[in-house]
């Protein structure tokens, strides 16, 4: 005779707590592995920084020599830079300048109500949605006007089961 396997089901609070413990263990293992990966990424970023510094040190002397050479040749000059074209590269000396650093929020407060403030149009979906009704045939009707809204379609959204752990438990993992 064949043995029937019965599928496990959660039928009481104790079994539900057991299932939650299993989930916590899996999440804890995931978090442990993510932490290892983050540490490895940090290590690799440190190695990248060290390589950049090493190669910057190796090239800075030659860059200095090219800068000195640049000052001895006749070069093209624009408002913002001077340049000298070679066969495989262009030597460029950017002229010093001043950059304006701005705080958009403060500027918007100061110049509110002027033509300097850009006002963007946006559809008030939250308000409009309140007046909509989904019909049996899937069409969307504006209950205020009674018209079918062609710009709106319906899509089925599957249900979803979620577990929201207590905040203390999440922080404690």
Do residues 60 and 20 share a domain? Answer: yes
Does 39 map to a domain?
A: yes
Do residues 53 and 107 share a domain? Answer: no
The rounded mean pLDDT for the chain is: 88
Predicted TM-score (pTM) of the model is 0.52
Does 160 map to a domain?
A: no
Do residues 104 and 69 share a domain? Answer: no
pLDDT in tens, 150-170: 999 998 888 776 767 777 655
Give the SS3 label for residue 68: helix
Does residue 3 carry a pLDDT above 80?
Answer: no
Task: Write out the residue range of the structural domain in which residue 136 sits.
Answer: 100-155
Give the SS3 label for residue 172: helix
- How would you class 141 by CB atoms within 10 Å of its CB: exposed for 0-12, middle for 13-18, buried for 19 or more? middle
Do residues 62 and 104 share a domain? Answer: no
Among candidate residues 73, 91, 125, the one where a domain is terminated = 73
The domain total for the chain is: 2
Does 59 map to a domain?
A: yes
Among candidate residues 58, 73, 88, the one where a domain is terminated = 73
Q: How far apart are CA 85 and CA 83, in angstroms?
A: 7
Does 65 map to a domain?
A: yes
Does 169 map to a domain?
A: no
The more confidently predicted of residues 161 and 89 is 89
Does 91 map to a domain?
A: no
Tell me the percentage of the chain whose pLDDT exceeds 70: 93
The more confidently predicted of residues 16 and 166 is 16
Decide if 152 contacts 133 (C-beta within 8 A): no
- How would you class 139 by CB atoms within 10 Å of its CB: exposed for 0-12, middle for 13-18, buried for 19 or more? middle
Q: Per mean pLDDT, which range of 66-70, 82-86, 100-104, 139-143 is the poorest?
A: 100-104
Do residues 20 and 69 share a domain? Answer: yes
């Amino acid at each position: 005779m064949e043995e029937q396997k019965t599928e496990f089901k959660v039928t009481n609070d104790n079994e539900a707590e057991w299932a939650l413990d299993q989930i916590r263990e899996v999440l804890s293992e995931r978090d442990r592995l993510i932490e290892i990966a983050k540490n490895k990424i940090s290590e690799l970023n440190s190695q990248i920084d060290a390589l950049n510094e090493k190669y910057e040190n190796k090239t800075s002397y030659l860059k200095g020599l090219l800068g000195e050479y640049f000052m001895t040749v006749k070069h093209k000059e624009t408002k913002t830079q001077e340049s000298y074209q070679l066969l495989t590269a262009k030597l460029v000396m950017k002229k010093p300048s001043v950059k304006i650093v701005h705080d958009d929020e403060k500027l918007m407060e100061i110049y509110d109500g002027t033509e300097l403030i850009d006002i963007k149009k946006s559809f008030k979906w939250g308000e409009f949605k309140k007046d909509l009704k989904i019909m049996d045939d899937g069409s969307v009707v504006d209950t205020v006007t009674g018209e079918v809204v062609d710009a709106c379609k319906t899509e089925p959204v599957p249900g979803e089961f979620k577990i929201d752990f207590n905040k203390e438990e999440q922080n404690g993992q």
